Structure 1
């Protein structure tokens, strides 16, 4: 039988050992690599299998020979008791990792998850207004209540504390806030920061506590009757301000506020009288070509001398505020919304013209609800829409202001 080694190594031998494995006895080995790096290893037999467990670095700054032997002796006792040192170490590492993860989750706040979600997804959102609304509503209504709370601890009571004070008075805002809270909490669950049901879920949960929005006053877009639009346009043209021209342009093109305020000269072909809104800025996510009436072209020609990238810039910004046209309507004491003029255009087209439904709907860039019809419709009915928008411009100017000219804007006053 081979002789068992016992204390075969000395400190000097450890220092001068050549690359390879050097036994000290009792399962303790010194490993020396070609690089000169040295480490201690304890080899043991358990359940008929030979296994190695590292003890740490050897040599200067590492574990001494004496300490390595002490560590070996402790592990030998465990092996004799049927304990696998490697499994024990792995179990300890797993428990430490779990504890660290639990501590990290406990520190993960609702605000941190929300900001991470916004940062990861805002590039896919269609416009700046949507991004701003996400941040503003969370900062104003949600963060003061539960922004700094661990996201794992948020429950129904926290959600209701936010929603109940505004559910009746601000139903549209409250509904959107609830949806945003639900989205953030879903994201938190997907990342492993919380478990269980979503306390902001509407169906089968919040719906059992708060009345549905259909029973509340809903925020419709109040429209001006189309019969009143020509007189309004005449008064609007008396105001030589950027906001007034922008609003007139919105009405003449039957477009949305965000589409006009975000419009740049790169989208406009004045020679062909065409404005092309890219898919990234359209609600339906599809490019929309808009034929410009002669009046709409006049407005753009008046704005061009300003030399800004956007069609309708502000004094100290690239574009007008989203509230500029709404505030103008208030100053003119008109009780309707900017978006409501699209309804006026649609009513006029239906009641006063013979244009087909699909021409009118395409002028508004509405999505075709019928999938079969959408599949067969390849064109955008542009020539027919050009005649429609020219007729609309003529109608809007039939209050005696048909020959009105636009004075060049000297400043971007609202």
Structure 2
């Protein structure tokens, strides 16, 4: 049969299909003559010849099967392997860098793309990941896009995708405004961590009740309605815990919410002179004054950031630094999971949150050498 050859090397005999493709001579092994018959070899050779006339390179049944299995790979299956490969190729020395890639992909991409086959992911799917956060968490969204582009570029190289749907130029730039322009025009309710690190000198040293209240709220990632009316008897100095009573819990749980206090939070509290039951001199009854705190914040920092925005800053930092979702949500006193999950997940994960809150305080104060 044309193109079909029996190659004998010593005692081994195998069928080989020889052909020309792109001006180059190539050959494809069909298998040992001990495992396939001459008629099977001729049938395969005929299929290969037909395929060549249509521009398709010859593939054995095993190769076809391998390709089909690979075509079923989901984004979730592939993404983590790709990140590991990227880390190895780029010789990342900082383990935290790889953890940040994993964390952002898990937090933002996998909920949307996780179960989709790589071969089926289109531009619209990538937009479904990015659009909800492009204008509100622009810096994080831009990083997610770049990381997806890298992952998909490996998938294209591996023959699992025909096109990279996360490319910016001539692709996503048709639907998403440039990140740099958004950051110039958007109202910065949430202050980026880098800016907070620069502005921390506006509140530290905390020499006034206003600065003390702002700094305590930032360090505990709490709501103003929880932090500003805090009382001294809510502080457990020995165990370094602040207990927010049920009446100030937004989630209406009938028990106190325990907030682990970082070294910096403890240092701040120790620096405050006790002038009554309330740490910052504001009771629940006089909470109307809490609404002026954001005005004072804007005046101190010269930004449009809000007090509540610091909780978003914390959440973005947590996602970028590999903090598990459930731990980050409990740090923010958010309800986690459905009723069944909550029934089994009774722990408030205090010790895990203690480590996270210390890391958060260290990040906030990273540019202040005199902080604890």
Q: What TM-score bracket applies, with the shorter chain setting the length? A: 0.3 to 0.5
The structure, 1 or 2, with the larger RCO (C-alpha pairs under 8 Å, 6+ apart) is 2
Q: Given the two structures, how large is their TM-score scaled by the length of structure 1?
A: 0.41
Could you say which structure has the larger radius of gyration? 1
